[in-house]
Amino acid sequence: MDPQFFRKGDWGSGFSTGLFSPYATSGGSATSYGLGTLTHELLHKKSVGGGFSHSDMNAALDAVGVAGGTLGRNDISDRIARLCFPGSSK
Ligand SMILES: [Zn+2]
């Protein structure tokens, strides 16, 4: 597993957050990718279905045909964002 590290400033609100963070907008709302990243991390937890691996997640995402692959973003988080949280892309 490769935990993703969160920077507290990425989740705040304000102009610089809106400009530089992939996780939040300047209004302080989470973006699709932010929510996808949280969901990705939650799926690793042992308390969630025993903890899913990356191959488990990719198999499930492949099965429903979700594309991803935004440059510089975690592919699984990006795919979960497109599938589950399509409303707030950035
Ligand atoms: Zn992971």
Based on the structure, what is the number of domains in the chain? 1
In a domain, 86, yes or no: yes
In a domain, 10, yes or no: no
Domain of residue 34 covers 30-90
In a domain, 78, yes or no: yes
In a domain, 64, yes or no: yes
Q: Which two tokens stand for residue 76?
A: 């699984």
Q: Which pLDDT value is given to residue 20? A: 77
17 or 21: which leads in pLDDT: 21
In a domain, 7, yes or no: no
Q: Which two tokens stand for residue 56?
A: 């488990």
Ligand 1 center from residue 61 Cα (angstroms): 14
Q: What is the pTM of this model?
A: 0.77
Q: How confident is the model at residue 88 (pLDDT cuts 50, 70, 90)?
A: low
Ligand 1 center from residue 54 Cα (angstroms): 6
Answer for the pair 41, 23: CB distance below 8 angstroms, yes or no.
no
User: Please, what is the end-to-end C-alpha distance for the chain in angstroms?
Assistant: 26
Ligand 1 center from residue 34 Cα (angstroms): 14
Output phi, psi for 71, to 5 deg: -55, 130
In a domain, 41, yes or no: yes
